[in-house]
Amino acid sequence: MIARIGSNLGFCRARAFVTIDYLHLLRQLPGLYLLLEPRPPFRIVDASDAYLAATYKVREQVAGVPLFEAFPDNPADRDASGVANLRASLETVIATGKTHTMAEQRYAVARADGRFEERWWTPVNSPYFDAQGRLAIIVHRVEDATHSATREQAFRATEVLESISEGFFTLDRDYCFAYVNREAERILEKSRGELLGKLVWDVYPDLEVSEFGHAYREVMERREPAVLTSFYEGDQRWYEVHAYPAPRGIAVYFRDVTQTRHAQDELRRLADESDRQRRIYETVVNNTPDLMYIFGPDHRFTYANGPLLAIWGMTLEQAMGKSMREIGYPEWEAEMHDREIDQVIATGKPIQGEVPFEGATGLRYWDYIFAPIIGRDGSVVAVAGTARDTTERRAAEDEIASQARRLREADRAKDEFIATLSHELRNPLSPLRNALALLGARSGGDANTVRLVSTMERQVNHLVRLVDDLLEISRVTRGDFALRRERTPLASIVRNALENCGPVLQARGHTMNITQPAAPIWVEADPVRLAQVIGNLIDNAAKYTAPGGVIDVQVRHEDGFGVVSVRDNGPGISPDALQRVFEMFNRGDRHGVQGEGGLGIGLALAKRLVRMHDGDIQATSAGLGKGSEFTVRVPVADASAGDEAPHAAAGPIGRKRILVVDDNRDAAETLGLVLQGLGAEVHVAHDGKAAIEAFPRFQPSAVVLDIGMPEMDGYEVARRLRDLSPGRPVSLIALTGWGQEDDRSRARDAGFDHHIVKPADLHELQQLLASI
């Protein structure tokens, strides 16, 4: 398409010579194309007519303009990521010289009136090289997937909300407007641009202390719906509000009932008003969409407004004096309303309900209120009623409930998949870790063997850590994760983290500098989880810093917080990547860095764990090539603390009899060999039946038992073993790939004394067996 690079396009900044026929062809292509300079800020060289039409632009508006200046994100959308994702794709094309196809992207297009229109694109970015092999142009092509079948369901719900006769908006968990329908714009007399992304208390300062503000907070915090009608001083109007909890905040249906309230006031004065006043009132009520009517004490209609008469298909003269049965109401509904009218007359209090109604306009659903009309003597002389059509709102609520149900089911399926994946990954890791322990014990000091075993141990530990992170981030997100806090010296936590990172530090030949204060700093923390956080930071610094680097770890007390900082002289982090470094599945911008990689969840998990400790974690870097620093702050514990407890060393197992049961033969056999090497007498069984048969004959002092076995699982085996040894102490140890809290609870209920997640830490298992 492009002949050579020059300046004949007429764009002062584009500088591209293009054969006129080809340029004409480009502009006439039916697809959506952009030609871009192959370097930031990616100025636009040319565009197809179809692209300009789809984006509401003319060629003069984009010629020579930086891409993201011509097509920015919607500033009112805090979740917009189109610009960032497209910039990353273009940089990938420059770096690799290859075409990059992006995942389907949400991108807002600015209309001529300044409003943004949401689109879904499938972009493809392709390089074009000149005769000298230099990257000359990037061809950006998109397919508009906005109206694809995959998005029809979401659009359907939005269309319902846009068509209902009530105002509707949603607030996120920070009480910011997330969605506003057209009717809400009309009622509030504000555009979506004035509301979206804004804090509701900022837009309506008096709302927070009103009944509405109180109701919104109650719904947000208690997750229970609320209905109220109240007067708002801010604009001197009455509003009827239905607020419901939503997955990301609350959803609010509302309507301006000022006119209706005035009409109801008029109803209460009807008995004493003149004919002229009645005509004024009828003009008002006949021009409202609500149904209005009056029953006499004999339950017969004395008034019905125009909209209700239209539904009945009657004139006022035909309807007056008739009962509900004579109008045509079903027997069940007439009987129910008769009871309600009697209740209003007896109590003098209004009553509210909802009913279906089949009329001239078809089946509709109505919210209704029966209210007493009080005479001069204080008695109820009539019952006034209003009804509102809620058919569209019910449809919208049903759609929202259906969407929420599907989201819950998808979330549950995701959690089950992660738990199963973690279990299945842990099973093959157990024999690998056992076999490495055996190889290490039998290496005879051979340097090559020791180095290979050390390398394999590091990689197995890396896999174990990835599996643990994957499961734990899911548990933290669901709220199924609890810290086990205890008073702990911060120095001890840092030491444990350093011990876990020792192999990778040694393998890469880094210099480690540690600075600690003379006085201990005590924190109320989960030592295992906090060590996991600090270990993650040290491990990242070690992996991504070139061999022979320098890593500084500093522990200090600062303004009531225990502070641990990890600084390296590695590749550093760019400002753009620094903003996303704690996001889930983000792996930064460490281009060309020889690290061990990961899933991109370690820092996201670290941030959540630190926040659970009421602390914070921050990342700083002067830029690429200038190193980085991560700082963790957690509150110090109150008062002074005792001496730090020493670490327990693993003792000898001795000649204990240990029964190992696992249907995974590799895992069972290798663990048996490891335990034999530690001095134990071991018998191995590969299913529950064989374990039960061997138990009375072998008489073990401990049983290391897998849970997920076919035919008879570990829970059933544990219960039967307890029945076989009611008077003899035997320790049952669950060794399983299932490691969630409910798995541990089931193990305790089945009779297990201990629960260890595969692959077992052999030092931990040795300590446990030595203590029996």
pLDDT digits (tens, 9 = 90+) for 172-209: 989 999 889 999 999 999 998 889 889 999 999 999 99
- Write the CATH number of the domain with boundaries 657-771: 3.40.50.2300
Residue 478 has pLDDT above 80, yes or no: no
* Residue 624, C-beta contacts closer than 8 angstroms, at least 6 positions apart: 571, 572, 573, 574, 589
Reading phi first (left if > 0) and then psi (alpha if -120 to 50, else beta), residue 338 is in alpha
Q: What pLDDT, on the 0 to 100 scale, is given for residue 450?
A: 66
- Residue written as tokens 């849970």? 707
Nearest CA to 735 out of 687, 668, 669 is that of: 668
Dist CA 466 CA 598 (whole Å): 7
Q: What pLDDT, on the 0 to 100 scale, is given for residue 532?
A: 82
CB-CB contact of 210 with 230 (8 Å): yes
Find out if CATH 3.30.413.10 is the number for domain 20-146. no
Q: What pLDDT, on the 0 to 100 scale, is given for residue 19?
A: 43
Give residue 455's pLDDT band: very low, low, confident or very high (50, 70, 90).
low
For range 661-690, the mean pLDDT: 87
Least confident piece of the model among 63-77, 147-161, 378-392: 147-161
DSSP string, 419-469: HHHHHHHHHHHHHHHHHHHHHHHTSTT-HHHHHHHHHHHHHHHHHHHHHHH
Class (C level, CATH) for 259-389: alpha beta
CB-CB contact of 129 with 5 (8 Å): no
* Helix-strand-coil split of the chain, %, nearest 5: 45, 25, 35
Q: pLDDT over 70 for what percent of the chain?
A: 79
Look up residue 382 and give its two tokens: 């009539």
Give residue 493's pLDDT band: very low, low, confident or very high (50, 70, 90).
confident
- Residue written as tokens 């709302």? 207
Q: What pLDDT, on the 0 to 100 scale, is given for residue 458?
A: 62
pLDDT digits (tens, 9 = 90+) for 556-608: 999 899 999 999 998 998 888 888 888 866 655 554 444 455 556 678 878 88
CATH 3.30.450.20 residue window(s) in the chain: 20-146, 152-256, 259-389
Give residue 8's pLDDT band: very low, low, confident or very high (50, 70, 90).
very low
Kindly list the distances between the CA atom of residue 543 and the CA atoms of 502, 504, 577, in Å, as whole numbers in the listed order: 12, 7, 18
CATH 3.30.565.10 residue window(s) in the chain: 482-635
Least confident piece of the model among 215-219, 425-429, 616-620: 425-429
- Residue written as tokens 């000898």? 652
pLDDT digits (tens, 9 = 90+) for 518-550: 889 999 988 877 888 898 899 888 888 989 899
pLDDT digits (tens, 9 = 90+) for 85-133: 899 989 999 999 899 988 777 788 888 788 888 777 889 999 989 888 8
Whole-number average pLDDT of the chain: 81
Dist CA 66 CA 71 (whole Å): 9
Residue 372 has pLDDT above 50, yes or no: yes
Nearest CA to 757 out of 470, 480, 468, 500 is that of: 468
Q: What pLDDT, on the 0 to 100 scale, is given for residue 14?
A: 41
Give residue 1's pLDDT band: very low, low, confident or very high (50, 70, 90).
very low
Q: Which DSSP helix (H) or strand (E) runs through 615?
A: none
Nearest CA to 619 out of 653, 650, 588 is that of: 588
- Residue scoring higher pLDDT (84 or 640): 84
- Write the CATH number of the domain with boundaries 482-635: 3.30.565.10
- Residue scoring higher pLDDT (535 or 434): 535
For range 52-70, the mean pLDDT: 87
Backbone φ and ψ of 756, nearest 5°: -125, 135
Give residue 419's pLDDT band: very low, low, confident or very high (50, 70, 90).
low
CB-CB contact of 609 with 537 (8 Å): no
The side-by-side arrangement of strands in the sheet containing 177-180 is 177-180, 167-172, 249-256, 237-246, 226-232
Indicate the fold that domain 152-256 takes in CATH: Beta-Lactamase (3.30.450)
Dist CA 185 CA 517 (whole Å): 60
Look up residue 591 and give its two tokens: 């281009």
Q: What pLDDT, on the 0 to 100 scale, is given for residue 276?
A: 60
- Residue scoring higher pLDDT (275 or 133): 133
